[in-house]
Amino acid sequence: MKTCECGCGVPVRRRFIKGHAMRVLHGSYIANLQDREMVAAHLRFIDSELALEFSLRVLPTPDGCCLWKEVKDQDGYGIFQCYRLRQKQVRAHRFSYQAAHGVTIAPEVPLDHIVCSNRSCCNPFHVVLSTPRDNTLRSETGFAGINFRKTHCKRGHALVETNLYKKPGSNARVCRECRKLEARSRNTKRRLSKSATWL
């Protein structure tokens, strides 16, 4: 059976799947042949046809990223859809990591972009296996990661071991000096409210 002439590898009866002819006409879909071969060469643990099909959907950039050009999920990660895979949909960066390193990753194990922090990048050498906690703390946009990197509190006190109070049962860091100031403020308000009731 014939495959789509745009290079996506999907079996068709005619020349193109609906909408895929525009990819060839505009030239935006098929990247430079050398770039595609370079991407496909990294994916050495899968067959060459599947590697080429994956590389057709990737746009290599000068800084080493391989940006996913196709469908992305709501979190910004690329979705690789291939009829030859047992999983019909798989995240592009997870697929490329498994194909390049020859490992199988459990769904609950996160992959962390440590080189570029670009979710649409699927370069297998820009991601590493991580724990959920490390992945969260390394985040540049999440509150946990931002607070973890803070060195001073909102009042300018240094967040060092001697000045930290850790709440029981959590990893939250609280400034001891600020706790003292807030306790004094509460006690002062309580005393003033009691004295006002006697007047």
Q: Which domains does the chain have, with CATH numbers?
A: 60-146 (3.90.75), 150-199 (no CATH)
pTM of the predicted protein model: 0.60
pLDDT digits (tens, 9 = 90+) for 168-196: 877 778 888 888 888 888 888 888 887 76
Three-state SS at 22: helix
pLDDT digits (tens, 9 = 90+) for 126-155: 888 888 777 777 777 777 777 777 888 888
SS (H, E, C) 151-176: CECCCCCECCHHHEEECCCCCCEEEH
Separation of alpha carbons 75 and 113, rounded Å: 14
